[in-house]
Structure 1
């Protein structure tokens, strides 16, 4: 399985193209906007330029770029591919229509994966003749530098398709996490939503400013979470491991977690405070420049973690 089709070449789609091409897959890219395809080569070149100094552009960056080809016709990009990674708009009606087209135009053994951030596969693939080959492969932005991918099959997805998709993502250098059953928002966004809600509440109610909140995450929890998850973190935070931690601190944490957040946190007041903190760096050009900075930092972190992993196995 060496041929991938990318359907939708925005930020996520072109990053996915880079992921697969870097790993040696041949990648065809389609987008309904011809201008997006016209810019594809330049956008990929910029991605390579940013991450190549950190060893994140493959053994041969030029070959990586050459394996990504724009294709103007949807049927043509789907011909003979092993998997489709769809990264279109996060709108249910659009997703349904697009998957109906993908199902109609692609070969019967082609896996149809969506980059959806919240829409379950059952919501847009149910009833399709090829529903059994449909699933969600939800990445984190940008997937070429943040490797986790959440694989969320529908109840009707063939388990062999799920396993095959897991293998393809692993071959591409990603870290696949297979959900045992569907849930809105999958795992990452549900965790992120809770953390973001509490963060916004703390800012809106005047406990901390935006910079202080971000510093707490960046220089506190984020330092540990860059290389181990919250479950391993608590396992190391008490002499007897996770069970000991929960015995010592579980009641306290339960009390803190019981504070009501949710809809009230995503208020106009909170939005105004956060918006004001980033007013001078929220133009499209400023955001793009900061994204490029972020990608360099993530590439450096990925290189560092890869070196640490290699040393730990030697």
Structure 2
């Protein structure tokens, strides 16, 4: 089993530790603040207990937890690691410094992956020793519950490292997608932010409420997108498949695309109004409890997905 290192023990770093350890790997945690490492272990146990209660762990909670330990130096964390997952603060200068330190201390063949959600890897991973072994591995928070991970080259990442990391992620039961070149926001955030921008436009111009937008998603689009994506949805919505969908609805798609306001100049007052509307249903003081509720729904959705795949036509 590979020795893995999680650098940074916030929400994402802790979740990565769960992903590695439940797959049988040894995990070493490091954070520049030792108190964060100490705080991470009981929180990781809570996540493991949640997964265990849902029947999603092959091994016992204590057995998995025994594979995870903290350390006090970066050298100890990465010294003999095969895979290093960096999840420090989203600041390019901090990430550049951390990446350099990791590369100087880690084995020459260790993969160095960053969990960055927005920064192009070329801005902080290409100056290090053996930069061809570094790439972005952007998860969806929390990766302990959501399997998607976006693997993106820095422009000089070797093909061998891309393939090796993809295979490693698949061995962890993650679901990797590969970006062949850099683009801001990678794939998920570009799609997510584009949809949210148009949603702000619709609410801001008085077409509907924020709650109605959410209902359109949860009671409409999400019920199809839970099992199949937008291309497959379009393909199955037409008797002649995607070609028939485009032939019939292509002109409407182009018209709506031209009128959509993905660059809508929303004011702060609109953000404040939407916050107030959301806070009525999800009070800020109760966000932790609502996050736990959300996580249970994510796990339920994954079960539904698995059941749906087993029932697919042969």
In which range does the TM-score fall when normalised by the shorter chain? over 0.9
1:307 is matched with 307
Quick one: distance in 1 between partners of 2:167 and 2:23?
13
Q: How many residues align?
A: 313
The structural deviation recorded for 1:60 is: 2.3
Taking a change above 3 Å as real, the CA distance of residues 125 and 23 of structure 1, as seen in their structure-2 partners, is same
| Contact 2:200 2:264 (8 Å CA) reproduced | no
SS at match of 1:278: helix
| Contact 1:103 1:129 (8 Å CA) reproduced | yes
The structural deviation recorded for 1:122 is: 0.8
SS at match of 1:262: coil
1:104 is matched with 104
Quick one: distance in 2 between partners of 1:182 and 1:32?
29
Quick one: distance in 2 between partners of 1:48 and 1:168?
21
TM-score (norm 2): 0.95
Aligned positions of 1:141-156 closer than 5 A: 141-156=141-156
The structural deviation recorded for 1:265 is: 4.5
Quick one: distance in 2 between partners of 1:144 and 1:234?
30
Higher relative contact order (CA 8 A, sep 6+): 1
Quick one: distance in 2 between partners of 1:239 and 1:220?
20
Taking a change above 3 Å as real, the CA distance of residues 216 and 62 of structure 1, as seen in their structure-2 partners, is same
Aligned positions of 1:45-194 closer than 5 A: 45-194=45-194
1:32 is matched with 32
Q: Which segments of structure 1 move beyond 6 Å, counting only runs of 4 or more?
A: none
Unaligned regions of 5+ residues in structure 2, if any?
A: none
Quick one: distance in 2 between partners of 1:249 and 1:155?
37
Quick one: distance in 2 between partners of 1:95 and 1:308?
40
RMSD: 1.7
TM-score (norm 1): 0.95
| Contact 1:51 1:296 (8 Å CA) reproduced | no
2:264 is matched with 264
2:42 is matched with 42
Quick one: distance in 1 between partners of 2:228 and 2:311?
17
